[in-house]
Structure 1
Amino acid sequence: MQAIALRLAPNQDLKEELDALVHRHQLNAACILTCVGSLTQATLRLANQPDGTTYTGHFEILSLTGVMGVQGSHYHMAIADSEGQTLGGHLLEGCRIYTTAEIVIGVFPDLMFDRQHCPESGYPELVVRNQTASSKAASNNG
């Protein structure tokens, strides 16, 4: 595993920046190892809801987790307000950094995260492929 560490600055959009990083580095398989920071706006899709909800105020990022790849990424986040009330859901664009977001990403060079439609869930779901085995098979056939 390799690591990428970064800091996002005030007013940057958390999801937009993560997705841009995936494409800039052409990450085939990665995950969020840790994230601490704060937001002035959070947009989350709550469990079993069709659309996102935007919250405005000051929030601490308690947890950000996700799998990342050029074929698609999937993130969940938990935040707390100034009274310690906690809220979590599926990360959407519209999460604005307040002071910082300090993020460490793990990169798996031998894997490929793909997304394929799952008839059971109705969503594009994760399919993990081993890049090393695929590369060896391709070179053996060539």
Structure 2
Amino acid sequence: MHTFTLRLSPGDDLRLSLDRAFQARGASAAFVLQGIGSLSVAMLRYAGRDAAAELRGDFEILTLAGSLSAQGPHLHMSISDADGRVSGGHVTAGCIVRTTAEIVVALLPDERYTREHDAATGFAELVIRRT
């Protein structure tokens, strides 16, 4: 396992930036260990919903975790608003960094992640292969 830390700047798209950093390293499997920072826009898809909710304001990233594969990131995040209310869900494109985001990623060189249709869930689920 090899780790790297990514610092995002104001205006960066959190999900797209993570995906680009992963792709640039030529990796086939990685996991986001943790992320903190702030957002001005949060795009979260809540459990059982088809579309993401767009939240605008000053948000703190409390947790960020997920897997990175060639098919794209699968990320979950919890955030708090200016009054301390917490929301969380599946991260979609459009989460915009307000001041910074600091993210620690673990590259897994002995594994390859793909997302493939799972008949039991009806979704593209993580498939792990040893390399």
TM-score, normalising length: structure 1: 0.89
- State how far apart, in whole Å, the 2-side matches of 1:54 and 1:26 are: 31
1:22 is aligned to 22
Higher helix share: 1
- Structure 1 residue 76: deviation in Å? 0.5
Give every structure 1 segment of 4 or more consecutive aligned residues whose post-TM-superposition deviation is greater than 2 Å.
Answer: none
2:101 is equivalent to residue 97 of structure 1: no
- Structure 1 residue 65: deviation in Å? 0.6
**Residue identity in the other structure for 2:14:** L
- State how far apart, in whole Å, the 1-side matches of 2:40 and 2:88 are: 15
2:37 is equivalent to residue 37 of structure 1: yes
- State how far apart, in whole Å, the 1-side matches of 2:27 and 2:51 are: 28
- Structure 1 residue 26: deviation in Å? 1.9
Asked if structure 1 preserves the Cα contact closer than 8 Å seen for 2:15 and 2:73, the reply is no
**Residue identity in the other structure for 1:88:** G
Aligned residues: 131
2:72 is equivalent to residue 72 of structure 1: yes
Percent of aligned pairs with the same amino acid: 41
Report SS of the residue matched to 2:32: strand
2:120 is equivalent to residue 120 of structure 1: yes
**Residue identity in the other structure for 1:16:** L
Q: Which runs of 5+ in 1 are unaligned?
A: 132-142
Report SS of the residue matched to 1:73: strand
RMSD: 0.8
- State how far apart, in whole Å, the 1-side matches of 2:100 and 2:72 are: 25
Q: Name whichever of 60-69 and 24-33 sits farther off.
A: 24-33
Structure possessing the higher radius of gyration over alpha carbons? 1
Report SS of the residue matched to 2:94: coil
1:136 is aligned to none
1:13 is aligned to 13
Deviations 1:13-39 (A, max 9, x none): 001101111221122110011111000
2:49 is aligned to 49
